[in-house]
Structure 1
Amino acid sequence: MPAVTVDNVLALPRIAEPAPGAVSRPVRSLTTAPVAYEGEGFPVRRAFAGIDLAALDPFVLMDQMGEVDYAPGEPKGTAWHPHRGFETVTYMIEGIMEHRDSSGGGGTIGGGDTQWMTAGGGILHIETPPEHLVMSGGLFHGVQLWVNLPRENKMAAPRYQDITGRKVALLSSSDGGALVRVIAGEVDGHHGPGSTYTPISLVHATIAPGASLTLPWNPDFNALAYVLAGAGFVGEDRRPIHTGQTAVYGRGDTITISATDTQDSRTKSLEVFFLGGKPIREPIAMAGPFVMNTRAEVFQAFEDFQAGRLGSVPARYETLD
């Protein structure tokens, strides 16, 4: 699982041991993501299925895209579609994805890169594998996260951030057993490059077999851990967890997860996506590609989309619609 790696994890800044009296967050729940199909038919795991929205706030949806090894001609993407009222974060682990949107934003991301799109008041966009990848096939694996926007920012102007893998903050656990990539927010004083309206932290960690990782976590944030690959134990009571499962932590100062002593030959390490943020605590009305505060606002979003007020497909891409 490439993402961003280093030759010597011990050369990285190390995350400090928990301070005396720090409270380890207990595990409140463990859920298993069901498999579904998105866009033109690529497989996803619905990481948040079965979890109360109140426990997820400020997040509303997360899909693990793949991991799948496409044959030539098989890679799939999405058609042009609208969004309003939230941000989409696409983190690529393996493979390549292209993004284009009606505001002129867009780019190509590969392993370790992140696309951060603020839909705000409304935008149209499309996500597709590049033509050469469609022709050749290959591995495809990533995560897409929807981050809610507070009422005051729901109609903000759309924006796009292209975060290359070399920009993320790279850290080591205190004993060198884990590589920690900070994509957004802060861990132990180290900040990721993602700029957010809602205060959040996003981290991808690779934990060696038998190693344990304890992260200091903002006590005002919720905390979740999703296993991208591998098997381990979560929390101080070491509840078993494996690929496709999400742990929701309770309140406290630190979050802990450890890898089993042996992993399968395909996985080699425990791969975990950590996320947390300051809850917005506002009503949520969701329908399709819109995340608003009221049903009336959702209906208005559909009406605005149908009237062309959320943007238009750039002329050079109309044939892709």
Structure 2
Amino acid sequence: MPAITADTLTLPRIAAAQASDTERPVRSITTGPRGYEGEGFPVVRAFAGVSAADLDPFVHMDQMGEVEYQPGEPRGTDWHPHRGFETVTYMIDGRFAHQDSHGGGGLITDGATQWMTAGSGILHIETPPAELVESGGTFHGIQLWVNLPKKDKFATPRYQAIEGPDAKLLSSQDGGALVRIIAGEIDGAQGPGNTHTPITLAHATIEPGAQLNLPWNRDFNSLVYVLSGRGSVGPVGHPIHQGQLAVLGPGDRITVSAEGTQDSHRPAMEVLLLGGRPIREPVFHYGPFVMNSKSELIQALEDYQAGKFGQIPPNALMPHRPSTDRLTHRLGGLRVQQLQLAEMRCSRHQRQGRRDREIGSVASARNDTTKLSPIGTSSDVVSAPVSRAQIAAACSSITERVCG
């Protein structure tokens, strides 16, 4: 169960629709492919196959897990840079430790959110804490990348720690859905997240047979992602299930309904509701950098090479990399192969640096789901010094993502 729960009968109810309100129709439903991230933890690429124009102002989202780790299994990411956007890490169940080069950090746990504005440039790491590595446990969350407008691309890096109880809680009209507002506003209730780009981000639990109908800012786009369970979305009731994303059209309200019978391990339907005001500026995305032009990407790589994103602190967290030998007895062949590939990747980074991976990950600028990205592409950056010509060559095939 999600860590933050409440008796919906005691919460403020979302107001009923007005006669003049229009329902947002479903424009598309896509299924996110599964892969492995960072040092080898499972993810669903929630935005794969969706146009940049439909996602704007969002860049990428991963559902991390849900997985029940055995002792020694949990994995995270290595130290890596970011520039030009914000990362939002929301832990539904489990724990994740964070540290960055500007003094931010802490433990993200059980319904908490880490909101990191990379802005002008930052280095950070996200990794399971020692107690999770030692004892095992549940790991389930999301990481969302929110673009910054040109005027804020070089904002001073900032870290916000939003604890689970800080989320604003609402109930649906029928009392069958719990809505946790992490950022933005729904029906006059304001979430705690402080954002550069105007967005709304909420996590809803919808009981079997219940319906959630809520107002949505007409100036925002609207995305519904199913974390677990199954049901329907939109006024016509399009079927949707775990790992699928619905892009909705214009309107005043969003409707999501849960089927009467859900999976045994998740008794309710869990959905993420997100939207924001489109920025409609050029987007050039290369690994951990999201900028407005190719020249800005080249500058980001050069600045990272020059150490302008800050320094890894002396007491730095380091990633945990368990041996695959102790996992073989309980994991399917595909997962073992993925973990072994992750181990080989880490060893190659240590021996040879990461230039080959950086150039090889150019395709991830188009949300390529065949690679370990984008936390993976966050880690796949140049660690050995390279020339400006080499950087320019690596960026040569990147094209603008059309955002309307």
**1:76 is matched with which residue?**
75
Read off the aligned partner of 2:79 and give its amino acid letter. Answer: W
Per-residue CA deviation, residues 180-213 of structure 1 (Å, 9 max, x unaligned), is 0000000000000000000000010000101110
In 2, the alpha carbon distance for the partners of 1:127 and 1:160 equals 14
Counterpart residue number, 2:147: 148
Residue correspondence of structure 1 range 151-166 to structure 2 within 5 A: 151-166=150-165
Cα contact 2:177–2:204 (8 A) shared by 1: yes
- What residue is the counterpart of 2:272 in the other structure? 273
1:240-255 pair list within 5 angstroms = 240-255=239-254
Alpha-carbon separation, structure 2, partners of 1:245 and 1:231: 10
SS in 2 for 1:273: strand
Aligned residue identity for 1:287: Y
- CA 1:164–1:227: 2 relative to 1, 3 Å: same
For the aligned residue pairs, the C-alpha RMSD in angstroms reads: 1.0
Paired amino acid for 1:275: L
Question: What letter is aligned with 1:49?
Answer: A
Partner of 2:262: 263
Question: 2:78–2:318: 8 Å Cα contact kept in structure 1?
Answer: no
Could you say what secondary structure the match of 2:165 adopts? helix
Deviation at 1:319, TM superposition (A): 6.5
2: distance between equivalents of 1:3 and 1:279?
A: 31
CA distance in 2, matches of 1:85, 1:319: 25
CA distance in 2, matches of 1:25, 1:319: 45
**Number of the residue aligned with 2:197:** 198
Structure 2 matches for 1:281-300, cutoff 5 A? 281-300=280-299
Paired letter, 1:196: T
Structure 1 outlier segments of 4+, above 4 Å: 318-321
CA gap of 1:203–1:33, structure 2 versus 1, over 3 A, is same
**Is 1:225 paired with 2:232?**
no
**In 1, Cα distance between equivalents of 2:260 and 2:34:** 28
TM-score (norm: length of structure 1): 0.98
Judge which range, 305-314 or 150-159, deviates more: 305-314
Q: Provide the aligned length of Structure 1 versus Structure 2.
A: 320
**Which residue in 2 is equivalent to 1:182?**
181
- 1:148-202 deviation per Cα after TM superposition (whole angstroms, max 9, x unaligned): 0000000000000000011100000011010000000000000000000000000
TM-superposed CA distance for 1:117, in Å, is 0.2
> 2:95 — aligned with what?
96
Unaligned runs of 5+ in 2: 320-349, 351-404
Q: Is the 8 A contact 2:125 2:317 kept in 1?
A: no
Structure 1 residue 3 displacement after superposition: 2.8
Alignment of 1:28-107 (within 5 A): 28-107=27-106
Query: What is the match of residue 2 of structure 2?
Result: 2
Query: Partners of 2:148 and 2:3 in 1: how far apart?
Result: 27
C-alpha contact 2:99 2:317 (8 A) present in aligned 1: no
Query: Equivalents in 2 of 1:124, 1:264: separation in Å?
Result: 39
The alignment partner of 2:300 has SS state of helix
Cα displacement (A) at 1:318? 7.6
More helix by share: 2
SS of aligned partner of 1:315: coil
- 2:212 aligned partner: 213
- Say if 1:319 and 1:201 are closer, same or farther in 2 by CA, change over 3 A: closer
Q: Residue 113 of structure 2 corresponds to which residue in structure 1?
A: 114
Unaligned runs of 5+ in 1: none
* Alignment of 1:168 onto 2:146: no
CA distance in 2: counterparts of 1:211 and 1:174, whole angstroms: 10
CA gap 1:318/1:59 in 2 versus in 1, 3 angstroms: closer
What CA distance in whole angstroms lies between the structure 2 residues aligned with 1:179 and 1:310? 40
SS in 1 for 2:295: helix
- Look up the equivalent residue of 1:259 and give its one-letter code: A
Within 2, Cα distance between the matches of 1:100 and 1:230? Answer: 33
Q: Could you tell me which residue of structure 1 aligns to residue 332 of structure 2?
A: none
Amino acid in the other structure paired with 2:139: F
Residues 127, 318 of structure 2: 8 Å contact kept: no
Counterpart-to-counterpart distance in 2, 1:319 and 1:212: 44
Amino acid at match of 1:55: D
Task: Letter of the 1:4 partner, please give it.
Answer: I
* Distance change in 2, residues 1:318/1:176 (3 Å): closer
| Structure with greater strand percent | 1
Following TM superposition, by how much is the alpha carbon of 1:264 offset from its aligned partner in structure 2, in angstroms?
Answer: 1.4
Shift of 1:316: 1.8
Instruction: Normalising by structure 2, report the TM-score.
Output: 0.78
Q: Which residue of 2 aligns with 1:139?
A: 138
Instruction: Give the secondary structure class of the aligned counterpart of 1:255.
Output: strand
Q: For the structure 1 residues 315 and 208, does the alpha-carbon distance in structure 2 shift closer, same or farther, using more than 3 Å as the test? A: same
Identity in percent: 64
AA of the residue aligned to 1:75: P
- 1:179 is paired with a residue whose SS is strand
* 1:312 Cα deviation after fit: 1.1
Residue identity in the other structure for 1:85: G
Three-state SS of the structure 1 residue aligned to 2:315 is: helix
Does the 8 A contact of 2:226 with 2:240 survive in 1? yes
Report the Cα distance in structure 2 between the residues aligned to 1:50 and 1:191, rounded to whole angstroms. Answer: 31
* Cα offset, 1:37, TM superposition: 1.1
